[in-house]
A and B are shown apart, each in its own frame.
Chain A
Amino acid sequence: MSFTSPFAASSSKAGHGSIVISVLPPDTPVLADLSYQYPLKLVAPEPLPPPQHREHGGTQPKLIHTVFLLTYGGGIVAGDTIDLSVCLDPNTRLVLLTQGSTKIFKTLDPGVLSKQHMTARITAGSALVYLPDPVQPFAETAFSQSQVYYLEGGEGSLCVCDWVTSGRSARGENWDIYEYRSRNEVWAVNGGADTSTQKRLLLRDNLILNGKGQTNMAFSERMDGYAVFGTLILRGPVFAALAQYFLDEFEALPRIGGRDWGDTAQRELSPHEQQRAQRQLREKADGLIWSAASVRGFTLVKFASRDVQGSRHWLRDMIRDEGTVATTFGHGAMLCLNS
């Protein structure tokens, strides 16, 4: 099946990269393009068949591709610009991973922004899982990233996470940054090649930590003592069950400020309820708070915790306990949550 990429042909510009998954007739997904320029590096292991051949209306692709996003030196140096384009043909799957947190190195000039930009084109029946390690901006850094997803006809499935930490907490760094921005946008596009003709904004999640706001408060105070903040965006048929799981678990959270008056009879807990109770205990111990909301066809999950591992383990537990990601994409898709 031929598909014209809506993006400019990959040039030799520094930091540019491109990933295209197409379908070789009749139904074999192939990595049609994998190109990158310093300081970006992309590594694609052999694609694997999905662990469980559950029929999703007969459209389950035969192979799942995985690509690691790496940078030379393991991080982004002041002034670096990374620009990645991802294109998924109908009925393809891609898992995007990182190897360790995306470190943002110190800049001498607060005005010099390092940038990371990704556009992903998703089509009907295709699905993207992007569960990276968190971004870790060191002290005295200025970083701006954006992830823009174009859903053709508003279709396709997404499970993408964007999370950021307070820096190198072992060195006492606590949001000692100059600036941090992260933008997640999802657009519905119609009409194929030209994205500018007909597009409608479905979701915009824009986080800006800079000097504005007239708060006279340090970032650490603005973050209310949390060392991690993250957003998980879920959409589409592939992740419908996972999205519902988050909503149900949010609904099942104990009421804030509620008390046990001792007038509810203790009953036998089901295995799922026991699992839930244990997870809620861990949430409390890790100082993790979260919320889930269903809005405009998305399920949006926000979370924050006192340290990185708290969020990492919580996310892993939630996604593992529900099971969709592991059975449809393999355990490897959760690699960044297991460390």
Chain B
Amino acid sequence: MTSTTNPQSLQDEIADLEQRLRDAKFRLQAQSQTPPTPSPPTLPPAHLHALLLLSDSALPLGSFAFSSGLESYLAHHKPSSNNTSTISAALSSFHTFLRLSLATLATTSLPYVLSAYRNPENLYNLDNDFDASTPCTVARRASIAQGRALMTVWERSFRAGHTSSNTLSTLQPNSNEHPADVEAIDVAINTLTTFSKSLRTHPDTTHAHYAPLWGLVTRILHLSAWDAGYLFLFSHARTVLSAAVRASVMGPYQAQAVLASVELQERIRGLVEEGWEVRVEDAGVCVPVMDLWVGRHERLYSRIFNS
């Protein structure tokens, strides 16, 4: 019975034994060396969730209504003849505009974001000074509209989870946050609460500009100052690109490619670095003509955007 076994079944048996040997070795190795699955990080990063919330294009700030001067810029740079190069001309115009627009935002507004982030109690002064430093009515209107929208988002959506920084501390009992940070966040929350009251009682002197409020809200939501600044500029680039898509300058994939590009990343990083220590007193326009393009948006014959 046992004498004759065909070679095929012997080969199968060897293969089976080898497989079992490998399994056993693997199990032994796994047992002795690594834990079965990596454990989750001890601190759930609260700022990651906030970062996702704030970078979502669905954040209801109404940004889609503004082109930040792109529409007017394109109208001022219309190629004279209607030939096939029109599209490529508009495209190269757009790339120039994006650079100038980001530079403008970084030199005029970023210092206010960072200053409000670092000194939340100074919101009233920053709001007034930003208003005084934004003489272009179209740009002011856009900044106030988005600032007020951010206030509304804060009040209706974010505030409940952040009545005081203590709430978060109880959520994260082993949070190793610096006491000064906790205190600053408390100050920021209180300032925002009184600010939203004076927005109703003193609408003539309280404006609610976007940049300083962005600094405050990102502080409360535990973003780092760097992320707050980076996201501020990134969102602007995204808004301008989305305006370009709707103004038929480029397609959505092309726009996404620009947004994803290393070049844009490096530019934004460089701009945050440059603006990191600029005092708000020294904020200013680095592309003077930008004010003209934005300001003359009102004079366009046809418009699809508010700015």
Identify which of residues 271-307 in chain B touch chain A, using a CB-to-CB cut-off of 8 Å.
Answer: 271, 274, 282-289, 291-292, 295-296, 299-302
Question: For the complex, is B49 an interface residue (Cβ under 8 Å from A)?
Answer: no
Chain B: which residue is nearest A250 at the CB level? B299
Contact check, A206 vs B136: say whether CB atoms are below 8 A apart.
no
Contact check, A304 vs B103: say whether CB atoms are below 8 A apart.
no
Main secondary structure of the interface of A (DSSP, over half): strand
Over the window 127-148 of chain B, the binary record of Cβ atoms lying under 8 Å from chain A Cβ atoms (1 yes, 0 no) is 0110111011100100000000
Identify which of residues 162-195 in chain B touch chain A, using a CB-to-CB cut-off of 8 Å.
Answer: none
Over the window 52-95 of chain A, the binary record of Cβ atoms lying under 8 Å from chain B Cβ atoms (1 yes, 0 no) is 00000000000000000000000000000000000000000000
Interface size on B, residues (CB 8 A): 41
Identify which of residues 65-80 in chain B touch chain A, using a CB-to-CB cut-off of 8 Å.
Answer: 72, 75-76, 78
Question: For the complex, is B102 an interface residue (Cβ under 8 Å from A)?
Answer: yes
CA distance A209 to B104 in the complex (A): 11
CA distance A295 to B139 in the complex (A): 12
Question: For the complex, is B270 an interface residue (Cβ under 8 Å from A)?
Answer: yes
Interchain residue pairs A-B with the least CB separation, the first 8: A206-B284, A213-B103, A291-B295, A258-B301, A255-B301, A257-B301, A204-B133, A293-B137
Contact check, B291 vs A302: say whether CB atoms are below 8 A apart.
yes
CA distance A123 to B136 in the complex (A): 27
Question: For the complex, is A143 an interface residue (Cβ under 8 Å from B)?
Answer: no
Which one, A206, A214, A224, A255, contacts B133 given CB within 8 A? Answer: A206
Contact check, A207 vs B284: say whether CB atoms are below 8 A apart.
yes
Q: Given contacts A217-B99, A255-B299, A257-B300, is CB(A222)–CB(B286) below 8 Å? A: yes
CA distance A258 to B104 in the complex (A): 28
CB of A264 to closest CB in B, whole Å:
14
Contact check, B295 vs A302: say whether CB atoms are below 8 A apart.
yes
CA distance A258 to B72 in the complex (A): 13
* Sample of 12 further A-B pairs with CB below 8 A, known A213-B287, A256-B301: A201-B132, A205-B135, A209-B286, A209-B288, A213-B274, A214-B267, A217-B96, A217-B99, A217-B100, A223-B289, A229-B288, A253-B299
List the count of A-B residue pairs having beta carbons below 8 Å apart.
119
Interface size on A, residues (CB 8 A): 44
Residues of chain B within 8 A (CB-CB) of A204 are 129, 132-133
| B interface with A by C-beta (< 8 Å) | 72, 75-76, 78, 96, 99-100, 102-104, 106-107, 128-129, 131-133, 135-137, 140, 267, 270-271, 274, 282-289, 291-292, 295-296, 299-302
Residues of chain A within 8 A (CB-CB) of B78 are 257
Residues of chain A within 8 A (CB-CB) of B286 are 208-210, 212-213, 222
Question: For the complex, is A226 an interface residue (Cβ under 8 Å from B)?
Answer: yes
Residues of chain B within 8 A (CB-CB) of A223 are 288-289
Which one, A183, A215, A255, A258, contacts B100 given CB within 8 A? Answer: A215
Residues of chain B within 8 A (CB-CB) of A303 are 292
Contact check, A214 vs B271: say whether CB atoms are below 8 A apart.
yes
Select the residue from A201, A216, A303 with max chain B CB neighbours within 10 A: A201
CA distance A202 to B282 in the complex (A): 16
Q: Given contacts A212-B107, A255-B299, is CB(A304)–CB(B132) below 8 Å? A: no
Which one, B271, B284, B289, contacts A224 given CB within 8 A? Answer: B289
